[in-house]
């Protein structure tokens, strides 16, 4: 083994000169994968905007009780099906947000309860007002709310999005619903991710009979029509399970299908990467199998997995909504967007009180935002392509 010749030789002028000349290019030349991805992602305006929208939604989920003003579970027959109530921001030229008090009457001909605003009775809205008691993040007991009224009985006086048949305030319920609807997607995707990466990785890495077996399982799972499968599984769920138990059961049911997509992505990347020249180069250099996987293969499919996960999330959210809407998923007293929409199943109710459909709006916005974000991430995922 000869040592390489010392660098004493006059190399000046013999070097292959750099292509990089400016400071901006110098910055690019030492940029890591994540920096390049971020620069590319930043250009995708819609995706950046969507990520802000999604962040806002998750903030709402965290501060749901603070944003609500009425106890979402408190029923009151005398406040059934109140229409959304407009807020008046100015009172005689002065900024002073208020709503008009509602007078409930029974229509003498139809015997239906109708509500009429009384412009004489102005109810001033207060910010950071006292309201019902709750535990912030489940830990700190407080009764602070973003809006409320003097006296703390907001649920009797303000109805920003109206009420449902049982007289519960829709705005407050919508806020609370964000929590379950948005986290069930995350939990489901996490479980899918673990299953998908594990089984997809095994499938791609070992190949052969294990690969064939896993691929066939995926094909069988994907060929089962989802709604009957869900119905069967939901039917198998004991009726006396609590909200938390049902929540986890639904997560498992959702990810049972969800992992197959991710497993395919992971397997595909593994198979592609195994053929890459730089992987062979590492093998020839005597680099161990574990290091090849962690150092060479994982980083190049991590970004793809992030993108695939983001695109899988809206599916999860919409599946939960669909399940709950059909009455197969979460059940009252749990509050989710699907549960809220269940009230809007009856065409007659929808015709008379269309505000019951308001839970559909956040579903649409979140699904779109996740899809745009996923598109942006997918485009940025391979900055070397």
Partner 1 sequence: MNSAPILTVDNLKTYFFTDEGTVKAVDGASFAVQAGKTVGIVGESGCGKSVTALSILRIIQRPGRIIDGEILLRRVDGAGKSSEVDLARLDPEGGEIRAIRGGEIALVFQEPMTSFSPHYTIGNQIIETIQLHQDISKAEARNRSIELLRMVGIPRPERRIDEYPFELSGGLRQRVMIAMALSCNPRILIADEPTTALDVTTQAQILDLLREIQERTRMSVIIITHDMGVIAEMADDVIVMYLGRVVESGPVDEIFHQPKHPYTQALLRSIPSIFAEPRSKLPTIAGSIPHPHNRPSGCPFHPRCNERMAGLCDVYAPRLLPIGERQMASCFLYHEPEEAPQA
Partner 2 sequence: MMKATNGGAPLLEVRNLRRFFPIRKGLLRRVVGQVRAVDDISFHINRGETLSLVGESGCGKTTTARCILRALKPTAGEVRFQTAAGAVVDTANLPKTALKPFRHQMQMIFQDPFSSLNPRMTVFDIIAEPLLASGMKDRDERRRRVENLLELVRLRPEFMGRFPHAFSGGQRQRIGIARALALNPSLIVADEPVSALDVSVQAQILNLMLDLQDELGLTYLFVAHDLSVVKHISDRVAVMYVGKIVEIAETKQLFNAPSHPYTEALLSAVPKPDPRLRSERIVLKGEVADPAQPPSGCYFHPRCAYAIDRCRTETPPLEEIRPGHVVACHRAREIELKGVEAQRAV
Strand partners, 94: 91
Taking the complex as a whole, the smallest distance from the CB of residue 5 to partner 2 amounts, in Å, to 6
Binding at 222: pick from partner 1, partner 2, none (beta carbon under 5-8 Å per type): none
CB of 208 to partner 2, least distance (A): 10
Contacted entry of partner 2, partner 1, none for residue 43, CB cut-off 5 to 8 Å set by kind: partner 1
Per-residue exposure over 202-236, b if at least 16 CB sit within 10 Å of its own CB, e if not: bbbbeeeeebeebbeebeeeeeeebeeebeebbee
Residue that the structure tokens 């997560």 belong to = 251
Site for partner 2 in 13-72 (CB under 8 A): 14-16, 18-20, 25, 28-33, 36
CB of 11 to partner 1, least distance (A): 14
Distances in whole angstroms, Cα of residue 12 to Cα of each of 4, 9, 16, 17: 18, 9, 10, 11
- In the set 144, 210, 252, 280, which binds partner 2 (CB under 8 A)? 280
The site for partner 2, by CB under 8 A, has a size of 40
The values of phi and psi at residue 88, to 5°, are -105, 125
- Which one of residues 137, 235, 286, 348 is an interface residue with partner 2 (CB under 8 A)? 286
Interaction residues for partner 2, span 295-314 (CB under 8 A): 295-296, 299-300
165 is an interface residue for partner 2 by CB under 8 A = no
Nearer to partner 1 by Cβ, of 283 and 382: the residue is: 382
Q: Are 147 and 129 in contact (CB under 8 A)?
A: yes
Q: Give the distance, in angstroms, between the CA of residue 74 and the centroid of all CA atoms in the same chain.
A: 27
Angle between helices 298-325 and 170-206 (to 10 degrees): 140
Residue 111 in the binding site for partner 2 (CB under 8 A) = no
Backbone angles phi, psi at 344, to 5 degrees: -95, 20
Beta bridge partners of 99: 123
Locate all alpha helices (DSSP H) within 168-242, ordered by sequence.
170-206, 208-223, 226-236
Among partner 2, partner 1, none, residue 226 binds (CB under 5-8 Å by kind): none
242 binds, among partner 1, partner 2, none (CB under 5 to 8 A by kind): none
In contact, 44 and 380? CB cutoff 8 Å = yes
Nearest to 85 by CA among 111, 110, 104, 61: 104
299 binds, among partner 2, partner 1, none (CB under 5 to 8 A by kind): partner 2
Radius of gyration of the chain (CA): 28
Q: Residue 17 Cβ, how far from partner 1 at the closest point, in Å?
A: 5
Verify binding: residue 139, partner 2, rule CB under 8 A.
no
The label of the residue with tokens 């709503």 reads 99
Position 290 contacts partner 2 (CB under 8 A): no
Where on the chain is the footprint of partner 1 (CB under 8 A)?
16-17, 19, 21-22, 25, 43
- Residues near partner 2 (CB under 8 A) are 1-7, 11, 14-16, 18-20, 25, 28-33, 36, 276-278, 280-288, 291, 295-296, 299-300, 384
């Amino acid at each position: 083994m000869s040592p390489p010749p010392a660098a004493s030789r006059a190399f000046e002028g013999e070097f292959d000169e750099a292509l990089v000349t400016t400071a901006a290019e110098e910055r690019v030349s030492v940029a890591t994968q994540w920096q390049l991805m971020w620069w590319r992602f930043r250009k995708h305006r819609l995706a950046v905007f969507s990520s802000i929208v999604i962040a806002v939604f998750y903030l709402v989920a965290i501060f749901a009780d603070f944003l609500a003003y009425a106890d979402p579970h408190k029923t009151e027959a005398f406040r059934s099906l109140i229409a959304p109530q407009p807020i008046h921001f100015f009172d005689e030229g002065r900024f002073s947000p208020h709503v008009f008090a509602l007078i409930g009457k029974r229509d003498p001909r139809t015997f239906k309860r109708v509500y009429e605003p009384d412009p004489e009775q102005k109810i001033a809205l207060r910010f950071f007002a006292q309201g019902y008691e709750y535990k912030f993040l489940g830990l700190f007991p407080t009764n602070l709310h973003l809006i409320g009224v003097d006296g703390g009985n907001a649920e009797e006086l303000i109805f920003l999005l109206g009420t449902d048949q049982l007289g519960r305030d829709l705005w407050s319920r919508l806020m609370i619903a964000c929590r379950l609807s948005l986290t069930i997607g995350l939990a489901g995707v996490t479980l899918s991710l673990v299953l998908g990466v594990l089984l997809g990785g095994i499938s791609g890495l070992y190949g052969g009979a294990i690969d064939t077996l896993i691929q066939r399982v995926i094909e069988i799972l994907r060929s089962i029509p989802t709604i009957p499968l869900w119905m069967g599984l939901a039917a198998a769920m004991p009726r006396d399970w609590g909200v938390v138990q049902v929540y986890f059961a639904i997560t498992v049911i959702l990810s049972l299908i969800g992992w197959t997509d991710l497993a395919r992505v992971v397997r595909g990347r593994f198979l592609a990467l195994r053929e890459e020249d730089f992987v062979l180069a590492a093998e020839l250099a005597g680099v161990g199998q574990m290091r090849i996987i962690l150092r060479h293969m994982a980083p190049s499919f991590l970004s793809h997995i992030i993108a695939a996960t983001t695109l899988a999330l809206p599916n999860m959210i919409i599946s939960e909504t669909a399940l709950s809407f059909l009455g197969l998923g979460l059940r009252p007293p749990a509050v989710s967007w699907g549960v809220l929409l269940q009230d809007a199943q009856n065409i007659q109710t929808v015709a008379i009180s269309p505000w019951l459909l308001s839970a559909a709006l956040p579903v649409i916005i979140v699904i779109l935002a996740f899809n745009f974000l996923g598109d942006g991430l997918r485009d940025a995922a391979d900055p070397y392509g």
